[in-house]
Amino acid sequence: MKSLQVVDIDFDTVAMEQYDLSLFASGYESRCTYIPGLITPNSIAIPLVFGFIEESSSGNRPQNDLYFSEHWDCKPIPLSTDDEKPIYDHLLRHTKTVNSPIRILLDYSSMSRLWYASTLNWARFAASGREVVIDFVYSTGRYEKEKQPMIIRDMVSIPGCEGRAYRLRESIAVFGLGINGLAALTVLDQLEADTVYVFLAAPGSSKEYKEYVERIRRINKDLINNHKTKAVFEMPLSSVESCFRILAETISPHRPDGEITLVPMGPKPHVLASILVAMRFQEVACLRVSGKMDLADVKAAGETVATRVIVRGD
């Protein structure tokens, strides 16, 4: 049995750490290179960069590939957003001789959730009993233009977050709200949940962030006002630890006899918190809702979120 410990850390801690391995992503977003630009390459024994096969020449992808080649001496490893299996192979290959604890830096700012979930699953099931410390780092972003609503392509459980295989007395759905209000309603219809909770990011107190919260509430008003929705939580974007704790407390009364499904459709730190809750409680599922959306560049906003996850045997 493995245990998960989730702790907020500051980026100064990350900058001073020495890591056995790092995982970066090269995609079309400008912010792909922001956090790697804050890290000293000699603090990473083995840096790995995965490059999306999809949209391989779109947006800033050519410049991002060039950056990793010139500054990190890494050629991006081609990988599909829907394929996490090669990541297991690379983690196994590059940590064979590393003693416990294994220290990994993972920048998930522009990364497929399957990719960073696979790193957690590797730590849980394939690290040969060694303690694994994964520092997740995230660059907040600014969008150059509004994203268009998602057209749902697929809705499946994230590997390692499948939950119970059978339905018990009640069905509970916990939605993390983002800009895809219609998609969230479609998922709710599919789940046929008896009870619904929703949460959204409340990043700060500035006028810009207050406008963001108001916009998310407006986009998702039909779900928020649904007769099945029992509570709406505002959670800090900057604290995965707090989000993890609140979600765990919210689902706790339903765990003995409820079918619980987390549906994070908001910012990635809330997606990470949801994945961690589902991995911590095996009866809880976490869905990955994917679909077709217009590409929108995301530039780094200059703020970071850092979370340390420690995976060890009980």
Question: What confidence tens digit (pLDDT) does each residue in 227-238 have?
Answer: 999 999 999 999
User: Which pLDDT belongs to residue 148?
Assistant: 63
**Token pair belonging to 107:** 């920048």
Mean pLDDT value across residues 126-150: 84
Q: Are strands 132-143 and 298-313 parallel, antiparallel or unpaired?
A: antiparallel
Q: Using pLDDT thresholds of 50, 70 and 90, give the confidence band for residue 206.
A: low
Cα torsion 24, 274, 284, 52: sign: negative
Residue 56 has a pLDDT of 82
- What is the average pLDDT score of the chain? 91
- Does the domain made of 151-292 have the CATH classification 3.40.50? yes
Pick the CATH number of 2-144+297-313 from 1.10.20, 1.10.357, 3.40.50, 1.10.287: 3.40.50
Q: How confident is the model at residue 250 (pLDDT cuts 50, 70, 90)?
A: very high
Between 212 and 174, where is the model more confident?
Answer: 174
- Would you give the DSSP letter of residue 74? -
pTM, to two decimals: 0.94
The pLDDT of residue 147? 61
Which tens digits make up the pLDDT trace of 90-99? 999 999 999 8
CATH 3.40.50 in the chain: give the residue spans.
2-144+297-313, 151-292
Residue 31's Cβ-side half-sphere holds a number of Cα atoms within 13 Å equal to 22
138-150 in b/e burial notation, b at 16+ Cβ within 10 A?
Answer: bbbbeeeeeeeeb
Per-residue pLDDT, 177: 94
Given CA atoms 302, 179, 118, 63 in this order, what sign does their dihedral have? negative
Q: Three-state DSSP class for 171?
A: strand
Residue 89 burial (CB count, 10 A): 10
- The mean per-residue pLDDT over the stretch 284-303 comes to 87
